[in-house]
Amino acid sequence: MARDAASRPADRKRHWLFDFAPLAACFALLISLGFLPPDTSSAEVDATGRLSVCMPSNYPPLVTGNAEAPGFEVELVNEIADRLGWRLNIVTNAAMGRDFNPRNWRINRAQCQMLAGGIVMSATTQSFLDTTRPHLQTGWALISRSDAALADIDGQIGFYAGLTGLDRIGLGQYLRQSGISPKIVNTANALRSDLERGTIAGGVTEGLLAASMADDNDLNVTLLGEPLEQFSLGLGFWKGDVTLQRKVSSVLDQMWADGTIETIAERYGLDSVFLCSPNGASCG
């Protein structure tokens, strides 16, 4: 009995420490946050009056390399810069158009404050980039002269991989299960040429590219749904550059509200299927 009585103060002291340990950890975290450097990302762009944006050199219809119609996202970021009173400096990076994984692009803060031209909002991207809300979506798409479903196309189907980030294995399994053995071509021009000559009845490729090809021809584009995955696209910012991300997002909200984004999209053949309007169907 004497030993039990003597142990009670020690137990109470231990419980007291356990009770206050989480509270002490929270105070320590709050104090440490006070020593973090302030987010000056927006103020730095304001000070120089210039916004540098990393983009692929060619990824139609987002970036075309054509001065008269430079691409949907080139016009988008140019409008953002204009509304904020900044000059736009585009830094091209060819690797961005070949791969969805931003870790392979070798881009850093010294090159640009914002990334555009096909920023897929995947877990990998958002592990080191902050993004705006999505404004586009893409995935595998069927392009053809009819509005028939993929399984109902009568004739040979062509296939062009386009962006390497889309799941080719999942598409291959889907096509085999549908009884389709596609003709593989190596370029978008080859797929377009086969469609125009009628040597294939339809083609499967990345959705935005399909929309770009259909824009100049009498072709239909259908984004393929489940079980195939679709991807949302937005604008990217370095982690912690919250003030810049919020300022750009605010301008995007204005551009959705006054119809500017739909107007730009229409010039590049991007209809509502590809747009992630805040008032329309949500994108993932």
Q: Is the pTM of this model over 0.85?
A: no
> Which residue, 112, 96, 107, 114, is CA-closest to 56?
96
Gyration radius of the chain's alpha carbons: 25
Q: What is the pLDDT of residue 266?
A: 93
Q: What is the pLDDT of residue 1?
A: 46
Instruction: Give the model's pLDDT for residue 231.
Output: 86
Report the alpha-carbon distance of residue 193 to residue 175 in Å, rounded: 22
Residues of the chain with pLDDT under 50: 1-2
Q: What angle do CA 36, 42, 47 make, to 5 degrees?
A: 110
Instruction: Using the structure block, give the residue that is written with the tokens 């990345």.
Output: 206
Q: ∠7-8-9 over CA atoms, to 5°?
A: 100
Using one digit for the tens of pLDDT, what is the confidence trace for 117-167? 988 888 878 888 899 999 999 899 999 988 888 888 888 999 988 765 677
Q: What integer pLDDT is reported at residue 60 of this predicted model? A: 86
Contacts of residue 107, defined as CB under 8 A and 6 or more positions apart, other chains included, come to 54, 93, 96, 115
> CA of 174: how far to CAs of 150, 200, 201, 204, 274, in Å?
11, 19, 18, 12, 22
CA atoms of 51 and 111, how far apart (whole Å): 11
Tokens representing 236?
């990217």
End-to-end CA distance of the chain: 65
3-state secondary structure of 263: helix
Upstream peptide bond of 227 is cis (omega within 30 degrees of 0)? yes
Q: State the number of CA atoms in the 13 A half-sphere of 68 facing the CB.
A: 0
For tokens 């798409």, name the residue. 141
> Could you report the per-residue pLDDT of 78-107, keeping only the tens digit for each?
999 999 999 999 999 888 866 666 677 888
